[in-house]
Amino acid sequence: MSKTLISSKANFGTLPVFLTAISTILGAVMFLRFGFAVGSVGFLGALFIIIIGHMVTIPTAMALAEIATNQKVEGGGEYFIISRSFGLNIGAAIGITLYLSQAVSVAFYVIAFAESFEAIKPWVASEFGYDLYDNRLFSIPALLLLIWLMVTKGADLGMKALYVVVTILAISLILFFLGNTQFSEVFDSSQLFNNVSSDKGFFYVFAIIFPAFTGITAGVGLSGDLKDPKTSIPLGTLAATIIGMVIYVFLALKLTSSASTADLVNDQLIMSKIALWGPIIPIGLAAATISSALGSFMVAPRTLQAIGSDHVFPNKFINKFVAKGTEENNEPRNATILTSAIALIFVLMGDVNAVAEIISMFFMVTYGSLCLISFMQHFAADPSYRPSFKSKWYLSLLGAVMSIYLMFKINTPYALAAIALMLILYSYITLKSENKKGMATIFQGVIHQFSRTLQVFLQKTDKDNNEENWRPSVLCLSKDSFERYGALELMKWISHRY
């Protein structure tokens, strides 16, 4: 990848990674849909959603942190990290689906931003006689404003806005937890264990909530703007993941003890009825959704820019167009325009739940693929794969299995389509790319280590055998060692086990 993908102003530390991730995790879904989830499936059901959601996101965050510490990280976020560790074929297949999920996320957050105006609609209707029934009257202008800001101002604006947004977010959460209701005064803790079921099913509710947890990787896309990405990415990502999970558990507890099931399901701004000062919740919602949209708007074009820089697309003009950045600091302006077009298409849909389901599927197939490859890499034991942060193989396997399982439980046709898209992209890129490093290389390593382990096992079982057959092992090094690749392959075979 070109060195130009590293911004000339690469001076961000760990805090922007953490703040970008946490502001996305505690964003639109938390304000608009988490009360609905708690009311639909109860406290225990909400707790189960948090747990199984993080059975995907925590292994993914750990796998990503591991891969990020394996080598130098430049611009392109997750795409760069994956493609440089596992090959362009794998990286591009995952990167394209990842980019689509990030681009659609922009629309998701803008649609959610429009819903923050629900509280003022009755007032506008009574005072001015205008019935603002269509949220697209708010979402489309908001998206156009975001597009203009990102094209003209770039990532610096996003970082400046981020600190303000996180402050508002923190204040809104504090006032929410300090709030009290008549329901909470008579609430009995035994009600926490009431069995509550949703008419639409548990996994329908899960699909709506899961996009909140995908914010864990939001800060990774800033890799080209970080001073020390190998330190900032693992610390910022894992801290946001754990802190976000804890906050959601306490949110579920507070919502259950502060409002009835009917109110939680029917009032999407129920948090404003509970908070010490109600208006802070719509303000927090607007700030969080705009922040999340800005975060996705910063990350998605950079992913596309990195993909174009690797000449992944079949057309040279397309690769050059999306890879081009501004002369001053390499802002991906062309990629931002394409991302804007995709976001506008989904904003016109206008339905948060429908877009949430699509996002969930894109992220699931991306995270599942990442965890599966991380799991296989543990067994392949490639000597060049030596990350300073080490995850565990069983965590990566858990993340991969849970991703596939949840995809089919949420929506089987969508799951099949997402997996088919991933396989088609991988097959096409493998066919067209000169760099053939991909799944075949990883499988070769896995088979190599399996045969080695089997041979060691057989040698141990036969150690007391008194037969005269024996197998010598001889290693001879000479001045021509580095020209004799056979000797190096033998050394590789016996020297390293990750």
CATH 1.20.1740.10 residue ranges of the chain are: 3-432
How does pLDDT run across 389-424, given as a tens digit for each residue? Answer: 888 889 999 999 999 999 999 888 888 988 888 888
Average pLDDT of the residues in 292-313: 84
Confidence of residue 495 (pLDDT cuts 50, 70, 90): low
Q: Which residue has the tokens 């990102």?
A: 150
For residues 232-263, one letter each, b for 16 or more C-beta atoms within 10 angstroms of the residue's C-beta and e for the rest, the string is: bbbbbbbbbbeebbebbeebbbbbbbbbebeb
Taking alpha carbons only, the member of 11, 10, 16, 14 closest to residue 166 is 16
Examine the pLDDT at 243 and tell me if it is beyond 80. yes
How much is the pLDDT for 403? 92
Confidence of residue 2 (pLDDT cuts 50, 70, 90): very low
pLDDT top residue among 119 and 278: 278
Rg (CA), the chain: 25
Backbone angles phi, psi at 450, to 5 degrees: -65, -45
**CATH homologous superfamily, domain 3-432:** Amino acid/polyamine transporter I (1.20.1740.10)
For residues 346-382, one letter each, b for 16 or more C-beta atoms within 10 angstroms of the residue's C-beta and e for the rest, the string is: bbeebebeebbbbbbbbbbbbbbbbbbbbbbbbbbbb
How much is the pLDDT for 49? 94
CA distance 50 to 103: 24
Name beta bridge partners: 226. 12
DSSP letters spanning 284-352? HHHHHHHHHHHHHHHHHHHHHHHHHHTT-SS-HHHHHHHH---TTT---HHHHHHHHHHHHHHHTT--H
First to last CA, the chain: 27
CA distance 446 to 295: 37
Cα–Cα separations (whole angstroms), residue 257 to 187, 193, 274, 279, 295: 6, 12, 10, 21, 33
Q: Please classify residue 344 by burial: count the beta carbons closer than 10 Å to its beta carbon, then call 0-12 exposed, 13-18 middle and 19+ buried.
A: middle
CA distance 79 to 330: 17
Q: Are 9 and 170 in contact (CB under 8 A)?
A: no
Average pLDDT of the residues in 332-344: 89
Examine the pLDDT at 3 and tell me if it is beyond 60. no
CA distance 91 to 200: 36
